[in-house]
């Protein structure tokens, strides 16, 4: 709006200098910023681009209401002490270990904040998280192997040949049959039952 660049700047949360660059075609607003303007104005992207009267009314309406902003932009300011305490709690086992990106989302800090400020703790947490994932995977493999043994034996007891596909169809997670360790157990069961593959 003519003469309202400063007010528009305050309402939309962008610098007056940037608004001026938009006005003089020195910069083009990012698509994200255009969507934020539409959101704040309560209009569609099509209305913003094509309906001059509707655009004027909608933009004027912004000044009558507090700026509406998507929630994902409202990142909490978290101090170093809080982040450090959180990471120490993870390392001590007082908090569940998660990927660093998940911790950053939970704390409301931007991507890379933890690694920049706490490189050592970040490395230790990442290593612990990978170790836990590896342990969880080994447990899944062990459970799948036990299940294959039980299913194959039960099928054989019923007079049904425990083929790979037949056993797979009876597993709680059929795709686990793709794992080499699980296939090895299936073959071992066939040998124990004096059956051929």
The pLDDT value given to residue 183:
95
pLDDT digits (tens, 9 = 90+) for 103-124: 988 888 888 888 888 999 999 9
Which residues in 102-116 are b (16+ Cβ under 10 Å) and which e?
ebbeebebeeebbee
Higher pLDDT, 9 or 118: 118
Give the model's confidence band at 24: pLDDT under 50 very low, under 70 low, under 90 confident, else very high: confident
**The model's pTM:** 0.53
Query: Whose structure tokens read 């978290």?
Result: 78
Query: Whose structure tokens read 């608004």?
Result: 19
The pLDDT value given to residue 11:
67
Asked if 8 and 58 touch (Cβ cutoff 8 Å), the reply is no
Surface-to-core class of residue 140, CB atoms within 10 Å of its CB (0-12 exposed, 13-18 middle, 19+ buried): middle
pLDDT digits (tens, 9 = 90+) for 123-178: 999 999 999 999 999 999 999 999 999 999 999 999 999 999 999 999 999 999 99
pLDDT digits (tens, 9 = 90+) for 51-84: 666 666 666 655 555 444 444 444 455 578 888 9
Nearest to 171 by CA among 134, 196, 145, 189: 145
């Amino acid at each position: 709006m003519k003469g309202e660049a400063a007010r528009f700047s305050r309402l939309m949360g962008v610098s007056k200098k940037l608004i001026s660059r938009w006005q003089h075609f020195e910069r083009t607003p990012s698509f994200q910023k255009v969507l934020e303007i539409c959101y704040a104005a309560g209009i569609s992207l099509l209305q913003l681009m094509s309906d001059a009267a509707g655009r004027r009314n909608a933009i004027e309406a912004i000044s009558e209401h507090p700026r509406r902003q998507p929630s994902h932009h409202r990142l909490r300011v978290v101090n170093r002490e809080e982040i450090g305490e959180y990471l120490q709690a993870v390392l001590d086992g007082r908090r569940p270990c998660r990927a660093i990106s998940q911790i950053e989302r939970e704390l409301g800090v931007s991507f890379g904040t933890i690694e920049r400020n706490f490189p050592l703790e970040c490395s230790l947490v990442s290593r612990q998280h990978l170790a836990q994932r590896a342990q969880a995977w080994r447990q899944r493999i062990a459970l799948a192997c036990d299940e294959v043994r039980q299913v194959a034996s039960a099928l054989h007891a019923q007079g049904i040949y425990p083929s790979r596909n037949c056993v797979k169809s009876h597993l709680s997670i059929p795709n686990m049959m793709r794992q080499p360790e699980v296939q090895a157990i299936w073959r071992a069961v066939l040998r124990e039952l004096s059956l051929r593959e």
